[in-house]
Structure 1
């Protein structure tokens, strides 16, 4: 059963089609499939897979110190457990839309779930750092495919009039999973074993694959255009170079030759990718989707939200564990209320979108996000945990209200034939903006902390206690302890000062996003998002 598409988007009858392939922007909509069950059931299956793949990004960060201890790795080397995953994602995501068209979206999704479960099992069995890095790359390949094909399937199986509610449920994987990660990961690392953060994906992946076989509609494959190898090499090299430079910038130095060369090379490769995609007959990703301003605007807003979300998710646990003496699990528990708020707001925001459109949920949500971030500028070493929880929950409410209407409005502005490519761009922006934003935040924090410690060091050297002579007399020991206490207090003060400045900048960025949100239409874009259920 299908919903009739607008006249300008209907595919011509088979007998009337010209033998030549149509331009990418005017490609016919995917054929209607035979439904194998209610769309809500199919959506739940997709949410489970999406949740698992996104959760793995944040949950692993909590286990990095435990892995470092077990593998005897340096701080620089152990970071490649996370860096290798991000780099592999940047390479595979652009090809995911083509893969879904080639073998069928449901087949791509099922195989990706099985592959992700297998890669997770290998990560849990890793015996040293090199094997862990290799297995993380293998895990990232299906992990990058899952979000793209899942989002494409959502827009094929859900009726147009319910797409907002459906995306509200789907958003549980995109936004709530990263917020839950520190809590679940902290518990497993602190009370069980860090390897369980990988092994837990195995039964979830297997059950999800079985459910997908039984409950998801079938989408015909074999209709993909010829693989655009030059375009793939250009975007893969560009994203790899940029992500590597941003991941290693703090270690290598932001003005070092390797980082500058990678940034320049990556930018040139992405520019070359745009040129290639505009010239070839069968582009890997149709960059012409950016002519739809609601879609382009949504990507700008998604990037700002991702930067703010992941920046706070990274630095708040650092603040709690290093300067307030909390364990990994306890700091995760403190972050849990914000995840609960987002879990409640996501479906509600979807229903609001279905009724009122995207503009006002986005404007109100981003305003709340900006205000909540601005209130975080007052965090000190003495800030109570209850106060911090309320601030984070308040801010999370704004993110939960704004995210899905923005994403849904953007994707709904794209014709159905371009949904797969648009969803790939959507996931690329989410992944790269969070990585780039966090790298920029880290660079700013590092510079401010270095300057602050230099100023504090000069002050302490001029006014702090001094010891003369050798020995360990009681007076000398007391002086050393006092110096240590002063140093710890100074380090904490410098961190919170830099963090407060960072929150002011992020709040300003969120306020700018409110202006872009005002450009969103008050009604849903017409002509996209029709229900298309697949062909076996």
Structure 2
């Protein structure tokens, strides 16, 4: 692994494998309407296709460090990719919603270890002075995958059918397995012990949290006894899990490692950063398809430049990752994200596609400049044997942050939309001079049914657009706030330190 050729082969293997798993996080989103009819599911039920995957992934990510010691990196990566491909095939042939959810759970279980394991392998293969470049190359997959998911899903669903959203993983997975077999030789197996109490509290606590975040807005949050009970149980179980982790200092879900300042702050930043990033990825398709009436495939192509910009910037910045202060790169990335999302707050119902793409490109350029150097900082003060556990915690925080982001943004969006609808609609009375003038200009009367329906439609459009704008401004605030945490990092990287 010492020569550059072998490192390049390992990097290509890791990126290809990670990209396949990351694309599956979002590839099924656009296919949900087609799945509803085929699986006999309602609009409420079909969301479990997404929820089941994210729940299983979040529960199993913290086990990556423990499983690495049990099986070794090479063996675990082969098991993970092999199982992921098999479950993808079974998802594609599912004939009922229950079958689909069952196979999606196991798809999430097998895919959970791939991302933290990939980061861990790269950190071991590259010398410390080149780890920044390694994280930059790896981040191409992490940033581009979720963005490409809806594009690929839209194309496959439009021109083939929704089952190919899953079948496409078979040839890609076969290539990944061949590359892993030929190029990955790392296998740091070690002594492990199973703490069943920790596993029980972690699995139930994180699983319930993911379910609450996925279903809360749909069930009107705490007005639902189910959501209220699940939240209380989740909080108690997670507290027990965290206390147990600090008490035992074991390899399973090593929350105790967050005592390391760089890792702890990095996990906080990446979780909050994921709130904004996945919030945008959630809102923009809604804006394009439901408000601006863009077709699914067109929406995917309009969103694609964000991922392309991330990849281009990461490739260009990779040689600088080990030469510049990582905190400066994260700062620049946060600034670009803030500028891009701030420009999104200028959107209107008459916006040109160019002005939708431009802010996305600016934000995309900033995505990689946050994730790659932040990954380097996170593991810079950990001993080599602690890196697998550190990557597991880092990716767990990213995963939970994305779920929180989607839940928070959806809830805030619904609240603002209703508030603005009431605010704008409150002044629409027959005595309103502007309304009378508008009716006269269009040749209508205020009491005409068609005119009332037209005004109701305009009211809905404007209140919805204002909700999008306020959500984008919330994300700008998140990005600006995260800048305040950057001075807290340790400047000097010490490989001998421990949490």
Superposition TM-score, scaled by structure 2 size: 0.92
Give how far 1:155 is off.
1.5
User: How is 1:241-390 mapped onto 2 (pairs within 5 angstroms)?
Assistant: 241-256=208-223, 257-280=225-248, 282-390=250-358
Tell me what 1:513 maps to: 482
1:187 aligns with 2:155: yes
Tell me what 1:494 maps to: 463
Given that 1:357 and 1:521 are in contact with CA atoms closer than 8 Å, whether structure 2 keeps it comes out as no
Given that 2:78 and 2:177 are in contact with CA atoms closer than 8 Å, whether structure 1 keeps it comes out as yes
Among 47, 56, 62, which residue is 2:30 paired with? 62
Q: Deviations over 1:274-327 (max 9, x none)?
A: 211122264523333222211111112211221111111111111111111111
Give how far 1:517 is off.
2.2
Unaligned runs of 5+ residues in structure 2 are 437-443
2-side partners of 1:488 and 1:226: how far apart? 61
Given that 1:362 and 1:401 are in contact with CA atoms closer than 8 Å, whether structure 2 keeps it comes out as yes
1-side partners of 2:453 and 2:7: how far apart? 61
Work out the number of aligned pairs and report it: 487
Root-mean-square deviation over aligned CA pairs: 2.3
Given that 2:254 and 2:393 are in contact with CA atoms closer than 8 Å, whether structure 1 keeps it comes out as no
Give how far 1:272 is off.
0.8
Superposition TM-score, scaled by structure 1 size: 0.86
2-side partners of 1:62 and 1:487: how far apart? 28
1:483 aligns with 2:464: no
Query: With CA pairs under 8 Å and 6+ residues apart, which has the higher RCO, 1 or 2?
Result: 1
Tell me what 1:236 maps to: 203
Q: Deviations over 1:407-433 (max 9, x none)?
A: 111112211111111111011011100
Among 376, 386, 391, which residue is 1:418 paired with? 386
User: How is 1:45-194 mapped onto 2 (pairs within 5 angstroms)?
Assistant: 45-194=13-162
Question: What secondary structure does 1:518 align onto?
Answer: helix
Q: Deviations over 1:53-98 (max 9, x none)?
A: 0110111111111112333321110111101111111221122221
Give how far 1:162 is off.
1.1
Give how far 1:522 is off.
5.1
Tell me what 1:408 maps to: 376
Given that 1:277 and 1:287 are in contact with CA atoms closer than 8 Å, whether structure 2 keeps it comes out as yes
1-side partners of 2:430 and 2:239: how far apart? 53
Given that 1:360 and 1:522 are in contact with CA atoms closer than 8 Å, whether structure 2 keeps it comes out as no
Unaligned runs of 5+ residues in structure 1 are 3-34, 467-474, 530-536
Question: What secondary structure does 1:250 align onto?
Answer: coil
2-side partners of 1:384 and 1:107: how far apart? 50
1-side partners of 2:214 and 2:375: how far apart? 27
2-side partners of 1:479 and 1:232: how far apart? 64
1-side partners of 2:475 and 2:22: how far apart? 23
1:227 aligns with 2:194: yes
Tell me what 1:25 maps to: none
1-side partners of 2:489 and 2:245: how far apart? 27
Given that 1:36 and 1:215 are in contact with CA atoms closer than 8 Å, whether structure 2 keeps it comes out as no
Tell me what 2:439 maps to: none
Question: What secondary structure does 1:211 align onto?
Answer: helix
User: How is 1:19-30 mapped onto 2 (pairs within 5 angstroms)?
Assistant: none
